[in-house]
A and B are shown apart, each in its own frame.
Chain A
Amino acid sequence: DAGITQSPRHKVTETGTPVTLRCHQTENHRYMYWYRQDPGHGLRLIHYSYGVKDTDKGEVSDGYSVSRSKTEDFLLTLESATSSQTSVYFCAISNPGQGVVGNIQYFGAGTRLSVL
């Protein structure tokens, strides 16, 4: 299994509070991603990173920010959580290339976030 750790695994918070989710990898993969999973929508990309300090927006980035100060860590921050951000959040990692595992995204176990 890919070495990906998401923390916390579960969190309950109140509307308007800041929340930070952490993704930590031990695989030295270049790319890291944050997705959210909601019923009927599959997974949707929030933000991704293609290197230290290099990030870009995904499909549903409004209300979220990210940071990557080290190869192994990718943080997702909800500056002021809203009830619409209640979801399961998945981190993923990948490396480019045409090899056997190139461009395959491996996922963490997920973080279940409830915003009350």
Chain B
Amino acid sequence: AQKVTQAQTEISVVEKEDVTLDCVYETRDTTYYLFWYKQPPSGELVFLIRRNSFDEQNEISGRYSWNFQKSTSSFNFTITASQVVDSAVYFCALSPNNAGNMLTFGGGTRLMVKP
């Protein structure tokens, strides 16, 4: 069975602060995918990143960066210099590395960025 834990249910920061969202996962699969999605107040789910388990390189995209550590089963997401528009619920998700991958989601972290 797969499990994703996002222990931080809510985080509040002031604009321009850096913030890290934690994600810890459990799986028996030797290969798998990890994902982050953003759900802004409007409600849609926006894909942010997909990481394959055999690729442990960290990734940076603008103010966003992701730290994947297989040894600790973690896939953390950092927003640098946060902005009000970053306010959203962020979901971490896990799937097997096969066709028709069913996603297992964490419970989500609500990030509030105050001006």
Contact = CB atoms under 8 A, between A and B. Distances in A.
A96 B96 CA distance: 12
Interface in A45-65: 45, 48, 50, 58
Contact of A48 (B47, B93, B100): B100
Interface secondary structure of B, over-half rule = loop
Given A42-B91, A103-B95, A109 B43 contact: yes
Interface residues of A, number: 24
A42 B45 CA distance: 11
Nearest to B105: A42
B81 interface: no
A67 interface: no
Contacts, number: 60
Nearest to B89: A42
A43 interface: yes
Given A31-B100, A50-B99, A50-B100, A104 B50 contact: yes
Given A42-B91, A43-B91, A103 B101 contact: yes
Contacts of B50: 103-104
B105 A43 contact: yes
Contacts of B47: 104-107
A103 B33 contact: yes
Chain B CB within 10 Å — which of A43, A90, A107 has the most?
A43
A116 to B, nearest CB: 21
Given A103-B50, A104-B47, A42 B100 contact: no
